[in-house]
Amino acid sequence: MKRRIIAYTLILSLGSVTGALAHGDEDHGKKEEQHADGHAAALGKPGDSGKVTRSIQVEMNDTMRFKPASIKVKRGETIRFIVRNTGKLKHEMVLGTIKELKEHAESMRKFPEMEHADPNQVSVEPGKTGELIWQFTKAGTFDFACLVPGHFEAGMVGKVRVSR
């Protein structure tokens, strides 16, 4: 009986974590509404590709670093991040507050096979390039990180400084 209760609890926990983080099957309109109050809402919202004001190249590599590790943008800008993975491991760039990123990294450690497809992130296979379009609507200093298990902890983080 105890095993059944534990198994049931684990299944419920996994379902709620997966549902909260793996948004790949929702339609885009709902996703934007959800993220307006959710992931990365503190720094902006998913950008419109037709309103990109600037493109920024970002390299990810197996030394667990981003190049550049610090990015400056102006409030209101819509940025197209062209994210290139020059390593042999999968990497990702996820925008958010350090609190959100730490929480998400913890979930990824617990469930390393979990896939996510949020508008504030891009996952890039080795040798490939991806893109992330984001409109920065708030001024301040924000963060980005690779949340592949172990990468965040190894220092694969960066800063976005949004000026007025």
Percent of the chain's residues with pLDDT above 70: 72
User: What sign does the CA torsion over 17, 151, 84, 141 have?
Assistant: positive
Which of 37-41, 117-121, 154-158 has the highest average model confidence (pLDDT)? 154-158
Measure CA of the first residue to CA of the last residue in the chain; give whole Å. 59
Q: What Rg do the C-alpha atoms of the chain give, in angstroms?
A: 16
pTM: 0.73
Overall CATH class of domain 2-163: mainly beta
Distance CA 47, CA 53 (A): 10
The pLDDT score that the predictor gives to residue 30 is 36
User: Is residue 65 very low, low, confident or very high in pLDDT (cuts 50, 70, 90)?
Assistant: very high
The mean per-residue pLDDT over the stretch 146-154 comes to 92
Q: Look at residue 94 in the predicted model and tell me its pLDDT.
A: 94
